[in-house]
Amino acid sequence: MGRAAPPFYEALTLRTAKGGEDTTMTRRRFMLLAVALVSLNSFFWLAQGGFALPKAIINQFFGSRMVRAEVLVQAADGSIQDWRIDRGVITAISGSSVTLRERDATSVTIQVDPVARVTGSVRIVSVAQLRRRLRVVVYHQANAPAEIVQVEGVGG
């Protein structure tokens, strides 16, 4: 006969008169399946943040120090959308356009959709309520009126 199995192994593969050898194999398979599932879950739990861009990088490019950005996004239908993001202080408003002075002293005039969504302020909820000296971030597709205006506060 061979040498005796380690005690922990015997406990996992204990044979009973009722189930016979098939019960031992079923327990072994169950144990392997349980270990595999726990390992897989642990991997995804620990690695979930590693598959995305670190928040520090996103904040560096799109945080409060951003002046302007152009972002290309692939839409669900496969087309490419060219988005502009402009941050600055409103210096003029006329009709459906807003002129911003950006942090680098560039002045840019942006068309704004009259029904654009205005966010970030409890008191200012529509495009008609925008006024000079507000610090805003304007999101729009290239050559299209702005769809979103985010109010950040009063700027200088």
Instruction: Say if 2 falls within a structural domain.
Output: no
User: Do 36 and 60 sit in the same domain of this protein?
Assistant: no
3-state secondary structure of 156: coil
| Main-chain phi, psi angles of 155, to 5 degrees | -115, 175
Tell me which amino acid residue 89 is.
V
**pLDDT (0 to 100) of residue 90:** 96
**Is 131:93 a contact under the CB 8 Å cutoff?**
yes
Instruction: Say if 86 falls within a structural domain.
Output: yes
Q: For residue range 6-65, what is the model confidence (pLDDT) as tens digits?
A: 555 555 555 555 555 555 667 778 788 888 888 877 777 666 665 555 666 666 667 778
User: Do 22 and 64 sit in the same domain of this protein?
Assistant: no
Of 17-26, 87-96, 107-116, 125-134, the least confident: 17-26
Q: For residue range 119-152, what is the model confidence (pLDDT) as tens digits?
A: 988 889 999 999 999 999 999 998 899 999 999 9
User: Do 40 and 101 sit in the same domain of this protein?
Assistant: no
Range of the domain at 16: 7-49
User: Do 66 and 128 sit in the same domain of this protein?
Assistant: yes
pTM score above 0.75: no
User: Do 104 and 69 sit in the same domain of this protein?
Assistant: yes
Tokens of 39: 């390992």
User: Do 135 and 103 sit in the same domain of this protein?
Assistant: yes
Arithmetic mean of pLDDT, 88-104: 94
